[in-house]
């Protein structure tokens, strides 16, 4: 097997002071991740700020964390580096121009982040001096939490046939691969990167973004042996078996797979999820399950 080309993990205890003396909003320990889900190691090691024009508004999707106010955000139409964390705390929140509270935020919403224009370039990145968060309700009152759906599907797979998650000698695999390149719904690059990062964080593993071929090329997966010794690849792909059926509400049809090797995989096939005209997509049905 090719020698693994693993970027160094860089833990940054991001406290309060940025390069220009401004405090950064958002908490927690940040880690620069390999496999395409994070910036280059040279960027992460700089730990500095990217200078931007004074005062800026960025449109982001709330990928996760609205329930407790520790937001994981993906810049709309952003690249894979457009992933941010932000702790709401006492930051003023408005919904449709009216004063609101952090409790009214929900995963899947689009939020306008007003900040100083500086960003602490950890991964995920963090905004400096956030002055307000503004939410505008979409026409019809609905929003979609597609990121939440894929996190739920992969988490359900993680819990199924849990023996695939283990390592010889104990513990779970140190790497999880996530491939959403074929998933329906057209997530942006930033949204996919944010989902990948969150999934790894939830399961205490280093997240790697990529297809089977990409991860094999990088030396993680043993292509000849059809085995990933220290990782699992989770993938979601669109299923077209229901294309001729018509529904009054939007429908997603997909397959999902958890792959450790040629004889170590679990499948959710012919899955279907109907959007309930607002909020989560998370009530999905599995047509059949299989193991190899």
Boundaries of every domain in the chain: 10-137, 144-291
Average pLDDT, the chain: 82
Q: Which of 250, 253, 280 is nearest to 67 (CA)?
A: 280
- How many whole angstroms separate alpha carbon 234 and alpha carbon 209? 10
The pLDDT, as a whole number, for residue 283 is: 85
**pLDDT exceeds 70 at position 196:** yes
**pLDDT exceeds 90 at position 239:** yes
- How many whole angstroms separate alpha carbon 193 and alpha carbon 124? 10
Q: Which bin fits 128, alpha (ψ -120 to 50), beta or left (φ > 0)? A: beta
**pLDDT exceeds 70 at position 227:** yes
Band of residue 141 on the pLDDT scale cut at 50, 70, 90: low
Q: Which of 167, 165, 179 is nearest to 211 (CA)?
A: 179
Question: What is the mean predicted confidence (pLDDT) over 30-47?
Answer: 35
Fold classification of 10-137 (topology level): OB fold (Dihydrolipoamide Acetyltransferase, E2P) (2.40.50)
The pLDDT, as a whole number, for residue 36 is: 38
Q: Which bin fits 273, alpha (ψ -120 to 50), beta or left (φ > 0)? A: beta
**pLDDT exceeds 60 at position 10:** no
Three-class DSSP labels, the chain = CCCCCCCCCEEECCCCCCCCCCCECCCCCEEECCCCCCCCHHHHHHCCEECCCCCEEEEEEEEECCCCCEEEEEECCCCCCCEEEEECCCCCEEECCEEECHHHCCCCCEEEEEECCCEECCCCEEEECCCEEEECCCHHHCCEEHHHHHHHHHHHHHHCCHHHHECCCCCECCEEEEEEEECCCCCCHHHHHHHHHHHHHHCCCEEEECCHHHHHHCCCCECCCCECCCEEEEEEEECCCCCCCCCCCCEEEEEEEEEEECCEEEEEEEEEEECCCCEECCCEECCEEEEC
Question: What is the mean predicted confidence (pLDDT) over 65-90?
Answer: 95
Contact assessment for residue 231 and residue 176, using Cβ atoms and an 8 Å cutoff:
yes
- How many whole angstroms separate alpha carbon 162 and alpha carbon 232? 11
The pLDDT, as a whole number, for residue 13 is: 32
The pLDDT, as a whole number, for residue 140 is: 64
The pLDDT, as a whole number, for residue 54 is: 53
**pLDDT exceeds 60 at position 6:** no
**Model-level pTM?**
0.80
Q: Is 69 exposed, middle or buried (0-12, 13-18, 19+ CB in 10 A)?
A: middle
Contact assessment for residue 79 and residue 189, using Cβ atoms and an 8 Å cutoff:
yes
Question: What is the mean predicted confidence (pLDDT) over 207-212?
Answer: 97
């Amino acid at each position: 097997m090719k020698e693994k080309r693993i970027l160094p993990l860089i833990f940054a205890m991001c406290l309060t002071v940025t390069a220009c003396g401004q405090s950064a909003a958002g908490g927690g320990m940040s880690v620069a991740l390999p496999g395409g889900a994070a910036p280059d190691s040279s960027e992460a090691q700089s730990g500095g700020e990217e200078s931007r024009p004074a005062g800026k508004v960025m449109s982001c999707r709330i990928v996760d964390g609205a329930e407790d106010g520790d937001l994981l955000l993906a810049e709309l139409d952003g690249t894979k580096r457009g992933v941010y964390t932000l702790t709401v705390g006492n930051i003023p929140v408005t919904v449709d121009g009216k004063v609101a509270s952090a409790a009214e935020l929900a995963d899947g919403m689009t939020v306008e982040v007003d900040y100083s224009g500086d960003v602490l370039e950890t991964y995920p990145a963090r905004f400096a001096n956030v002055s307000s968060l503004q939410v505008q309700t979409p026409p019809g009152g609905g929003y979609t939490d597609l990121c939440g759906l894929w996190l739920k599907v992969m988490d359900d797979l993680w819990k199924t046939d849990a023996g695939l998650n283990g390592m010889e000698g104990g513990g779970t695999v140190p790497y999880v691969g996530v491939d959403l390149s074929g998933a329906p719904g057209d997530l942006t690059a930033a949204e996919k990167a944010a989902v990948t990062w969150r999934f790894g964080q939830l399961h205490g593993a280093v997240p790697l973004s990529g297809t089977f071929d990409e991860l094999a090329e990088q030396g993680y997966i043993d292509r000849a042996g059809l085995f990933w010794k220290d990782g699992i690849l989770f993938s979601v792909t669109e299923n077209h078996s229901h294309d001729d059926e018509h529904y009054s509400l939007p429908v997603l049809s997909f397959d999902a797979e958890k792959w450790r090797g040629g004889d170590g995989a679990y499948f959710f096939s012919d899955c279907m999820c109907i959007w309930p005209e607002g909020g989560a997509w998370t009530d999905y049905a599995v047509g059949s399950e299989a193991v190899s």
